[in-house]
Amino acid sequence: MTHPNAAVKSRQVNPSERSSRVHYAIRDIMLVAAEAQKAGKQLLRLNIGDPPLYDFLTPRHLIEATHQAMLAGHNGYAPSTGVEEAVESIRAHAGRAGIRNIQDVFVSSGVSEAIEVCFAALLDPGDNVLIPSPGYPLYEAALVKLGGEAVSYECDEQDGWQPNLDDIARRVNNRTRAIVVINPNNPTGAVCRRDTLMGILEIASRHGLVVFADEIYDKLLLDPVTHIPLASLAPELPVVTFNGLSKTYLVPGFRIGWIIVSGEPKNVEQYREAIAKFLRVRLSSNHPSQFAIKPALEGDQSHIPGVIEKLRKRRDLTVSLLNSFPRIKCVPPQAAFYAFPRLEIPRSDAEFVKDLVRQTGVIVVPGSGFGQAPGTNHFRMVFLPPEETLQKALHLVGDFIHSWS
């Protein structure tokens, strides 16, 4: 008798074509960093926007609320749309921020899941979504996954990185379904002015588009600027607001985000039902950590001024050092914890960033991973680390760029 395995042939598993079009530069650079570390370099990580990796401690009452929820037995699946106390707290919080005509609130596994679910519920293959350039790369990756198309619109570096309304208007076509606004923006730290937001809403209204407002950094304002929730300016238009606990509340690992659908009830009814359907098939978001939402939004906020104070000092140090180096120019970020300096260099930012990590151990992310105007080069760095680390890392960058060619 022949061995049963004789007939078994092992074949290579070919990944999908679409997987070759997904890039996430923020983590991709880690492959090069790992080689540098093996070769003996000490790594200085300025690549990931994860506050608890640095000296930003999770507020204790959020840990306790989650712990208590587990002890109280909230360890099964949660309702697909979110636990009631969390949903009500988000709704009330959004109402206080001026968002009216709220038709639904859903809790998701971070804004990351919210983006995918809301795109899946809206788009057919070949539809496109206008996304900011520079902007957070997950939007493009989510579109690749769903067979949608990302159409980049320009944020204007000469205008403090405000979205360029003419460019947005020019790029709308008959397959456009939505516009994404990241406000405050990752990677530029820009906060949209009221006239910019009004202009975007006007274009959306003219073409019947949904507006996605990613406002996850709305409370991390480092300058005396006002953040205006986009949905608050147009209660009648279909706006989907994304927010969550990851950044302001220092718990990215809790994986808690949410979706607020606002607009004229009859115009969003079918869409919100489609979102709910996709949420049902993925069962629920993390159950115990949803119990941190109400204490986060309604409880002690005293950590926030401390976070802002630290970030402001680190931002100021970062911008003044960057702008003191030759061949680097940085528009000061007004919010969040990222800087997106421009490089006057002879080769691409991707090559620059790879050489930088190999030779100095400093990890930043190439601007091409976020989108940038053709012919320009940038990198994104986080200024979450303490001043000493920033000083050390930035002086290495300054020395390196001096001699890099």
Q: Is 257 in the site for ligand PLP (CB under 6 A)?
A: yes
Residue choice 204, 216, 239, 319 for contact with ligand PLP (CB under 6 A): 216
Choose between 289 and 360: whose C-beta lies nearer to ligand PLP.
289
Residue 187: CB minimum distance to ligand PLP, A:
8
The Cβ-side half-sphere exposure at 251, using a 13 Å CA radius, reads 27
Q: Print the binding letters for residues 23-62 with ligand PLP: x by CB under 6 A, - otherwise.
A: --------------------------x-------------
Contact 80, 284 (CB under 8 A): yes
Alpha carbons 133 and 191: distance in angstroms, whole number: 14
Q: Is 362 in the site for ligand PLP (CB under 6 A)?
A: no
- Cβ proximity to ligand PLP: between 251 and 401 the closer is 251
Closest to ligand PLP by CB, 109 or 360: 109
Binding test (CB under 6 A) with ligand PLP, winner from 54, 56, 119, 136: 136
Please say which residue, 186 or 232, places its beta carbon nearer to ligand PLP.
Answer: 186
Rule CB under 6 A: is residue 295 a binding residue for ligand PLP? Answer: no
Read off the tokens for 206: 């003219």
Relative orientation angle of helices 110-120 and 138-146, to the nearest 10 degrees: 40
52 half-sphere exposure, CB direction, 13 A CA radius: 14
For ligand PLP, how many residues bind (rule: CB under 6 A)?
Answer: 13
Contact region with ligand PLP (CB under 6 A), list: 69-77, 104-112, 188-196, 290-298: 104-112
Q: For residues 110 and 371, which CB has a smaller minimum distance to ligand PLP in the complex?
A: 110
Nearer to ligand PLP, 116 or 401 (CB): 116
Task: Report phi then psi at 153, rounded to 5.
Answer: -115, 155
Classify 126 in phi/psi space as left (phi over 0), alpha (psi -120 to 50) or beta: left
Structure tokens at 4: 């049963």
Q: Looking at 282-405, list the stretches that DSSP marks H as alpha helix, in order from N- to C-terminal side.
A: 287-290, 293-298, 303-324, 349-360, 387-403
Distances (CA, A) of 77 to 81, 280, 282, 292, 394: 11, 11, 10, 16, 46
Write each residue from 146 to 185 as x if it is in contact with ligand PLP (CB under 6 A), else as -, in one continuous string.
Answer: ------------------------------------x---
DSSP 277-292: HHHHHT--S-HHHHTT
Sites of contact with ligand PLP (CB under 6 A):
49, 110-112, 136, 182, 186, 214, 216, 244, 246, 252, 257
